[in-house]
C-alpha cells in the first residue's frame, strides 16, 4: 500500500535520515511501493513546493539528491502503490492545491456526488489525474476556501462530508499548509504512527539506529525537536505511537502537538472484499505486511499509546 511520511521540526533540517538512511526508511519501503515518489515542503519564505516522479524512490538518484539536500521545517513525502490508475506524473502524490500539500493512503469511491461537490466548491479545475486521492485533495482545498482559508475547518468539513456520503476503505492522510501539519488515521484499517522527539537528552541514541542489516546516524536531527509521522515505525525505537482510530493530529507552526477525534465512522465502509483486484493488491502486500507485523511487535508497549 502507499506509504506516508511527514516531518515538522523547530528549524529547517534535512530528513535524509528518515528518507534514506533509517533501517526502515521511505526508500526501503518503496521496494513494495514502486509506482511513484514525491516530496512536498515549505521554503524559508513559507512558499510550498512539490517534486514528484512516477518512479521508485529506491532507484531514483533525483530522490536521493532531494532527500539529502532539502532543508525545511515542514515536509511531506509519499511512495505510491497504484490501486489501478496509471503510473504517471499527474497521479503521483503529494498534491499541491491552493497552497495545501496533501498525500493519502487508502481507497475511497469517486462518486458522481463527490465530483459534483468538488465542482460546486469551485475546485474541479484542480484535478488533473484519475486518482481518488486527488479528488479528496481537491475537496479539502475547496472546503478550506469555503471556510475562508481555515485549513482546520476545511479538513473537518471535507472529511465529514466524505464519511457521510462516500464509500470508504481508508482515509489516512498527511496535510500541510503554512507549516501547519495534520495527520489523520481513519478508520483503523491502515496504520499511522507518530514520534514526538525532544531535542537532546536521552533521545540522542534514537538517531543512531541499527537493524540486522543497516546502521545509520543523523547529526542534523540530534539537537532539534521534531515530530515524525509515518505509515510504519521507521526504526526500532519504543517512542513511536500508533494513532487511534479516527484521530486527527495537528502540529502547529510553533511545534505544539494536539489531537482530537471529531469524526464518526464511515457510513458506507468498504472491506477488502469490496475492492477491485488492483485496489485490494495495493492495500495488502503479504511480504510487506509480515515485515510490518514483526516491527510492530518490537516497538509495542506503553510508548505506543497517547503521548503527544
Helices in the chain by DSSP H: which ranges?
Answer: 16, 26-29, 61-69, 112-120, 132-146, 151-165, 277-283, 286-299
pLDDT score for 289: 56
pLDDT score for 208: 45
Query: Within a domain: residue 55?
Result: yes
Query: Within a domain: residue 125?
Result: no
Query: Is the confidence at residue 59, as pLDDT, over 50?
Result: yes
Query: What CATH number has the domain bearing residue 271?
Result: 3.60.20.10
For 20, the grid coordinates are: 534514506
pLDDT score for 303: 47
pLDDT score for 222: 73
Query: Is the confidence at residue 199, as pLDDT, over 60?
Result: yes
Mean pLDDT of the chain: 84
3-state secondary structure at position 279: helix
Range(s) of the domain holding residue 71: 3-107+171-304
pLDDT tens for each residue of 153-192: 999 999 999 999 999 999 999 999 999 999 999 999 899 9
Q: What average pLDDT does range 43-53 have in this prediction?
A: 93
Query: Within a domain: residue 165?
Result: no
H helix or E strand, kind and range, residue 18: none
Per-residue CA distances from 305 to 13, 238, 244 (Å):
27, 10, 9
Query: Is the confidence at residue 227, as pLDDT, over 70?
Result: yes
pLDDT score for 203: 46
Query: Is the confidence at residue 236, as pLDDT, over 70?
Result: yes
Considering its fold, how many domains does the chain have in total? 1
pLDDT score for 235: 86
Rounded Cα distance between 58 and 265, Å, is: 36
Query: Within a domain: residue 197?
Result: yes
pLDDT score for 226: 93
Cβ within 8 Å of residue 146, ≥6 positions away: 121, 154, 157
Query: Is the confidence at residue 288, as pLDDT, over 80?
Result: no
pLDDT score for 86: 66
pLDDT score for 209: 42
Rounded Cα distance between 66 and 226, Å, is: 19
Query: Within a domain: residue 164?
Result: no
pTM: 0.84
Query: Within a domain: residue 139?
Result: no
pLDDT score for 90: 87
Query: Is the confidence at residue 286, as pLDDT, over 50?
Result: no
Query: Within a domain: residue 127?
Result: no
Query: Within a domain: residue 219?
Result: yes
pLDDT tens for each residue of 99-127: 999 999 989 999 999 999 999 999 999 99
Beta carbons of 19 and 239 less than 8 angstroms apart? no
Rounded Cα distance between 254 and 162, Å, is: 30
Amino acid at each position: 500500500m502507499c506509504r506516508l511520511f511527514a516531518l515538522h521540526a523547530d528549524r529547517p533540517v534535512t530528513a535524509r535520515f528518515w528518507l534514506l538512511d533509517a533501517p526502515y526508511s521511505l526508500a526501503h519501503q518503496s521496494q513494495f511501493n514502486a509506482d511513484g515518489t514525491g516530496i512536498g515542503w515549505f521554503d524559508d519564505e513559507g512558499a510550498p513546493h512539490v517534486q514528484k516522479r512516477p518512479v521508485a524512490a529506491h532507484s531514483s538518484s533525483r530522490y536521493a539528491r532531494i532527500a539529502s539536500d532539502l532543508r525545511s521545517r515542514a515536509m511531506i513525502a509519499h511512495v505510491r502503490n497504484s490501486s489501478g490508475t496509471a503510473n504517471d506524473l499527474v497521479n503521483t502524490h503529494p498534491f499541491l492545491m491552493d497552497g495545501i500539500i496533501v498525500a493519502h493512503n487508502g481507497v475511497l469511491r469517486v462518486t458522481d456526488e463527490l465530483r459534483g461537490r468538488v465542482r460546486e466548491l469551485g475546485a474541479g479545475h484542480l484535478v488533473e489525474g484519475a486518482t481518488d486521492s486527488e479528488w479528496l485533495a481537491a475537496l479539502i482545498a475547496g472546503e478550506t476556501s469555503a471556510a475562508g482559508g481555515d485549513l482546520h475547518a476545511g479538513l473537518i468539513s471535507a472529511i465529514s462530508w466524505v464519511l457521510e456520503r462516500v464509500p470508504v476503505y481508508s482515509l489516512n492522510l498527511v496535510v500541510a499548509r503554512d507549516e501547519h501539519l495534520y495527520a489523520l488515521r481513519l478508520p483503523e484499517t491502515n496504520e499511522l504512527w507518530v514520534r514526538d522527539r525532544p531535542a537532546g537528552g536521552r533521545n540522542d541514541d534514537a538517531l543512531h539506529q541499527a537493524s540486522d542489516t543497516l546502521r545509520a546516524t543523523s547529526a542534523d536531527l540530534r539537537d532539534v525537536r521534531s515530530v515524525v509521522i509515518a505509515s510504519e515505525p521507521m526504526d526500532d525505537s519504543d517512542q513511536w505511537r500508533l494513532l487511534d482510530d479516527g484521530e486527527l493530529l495537528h502540529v502547529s507552526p510553533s511545534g505544539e502537538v494536539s489531537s482530537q477525534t471529531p469524526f464518526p465512522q464511515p457510513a458506507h465502509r468498504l472491506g477488502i472484499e469490496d475492492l477491485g483486484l488492483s485496489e485490494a493488491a495495493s492495500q495488502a502486500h503479504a511480504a510487506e505486511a509480515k515485515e510490518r507485523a514483526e516491527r510492530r511487535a518490537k516497538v509495542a508497549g506503553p510508548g505506543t499509546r497517547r503521548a503527544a
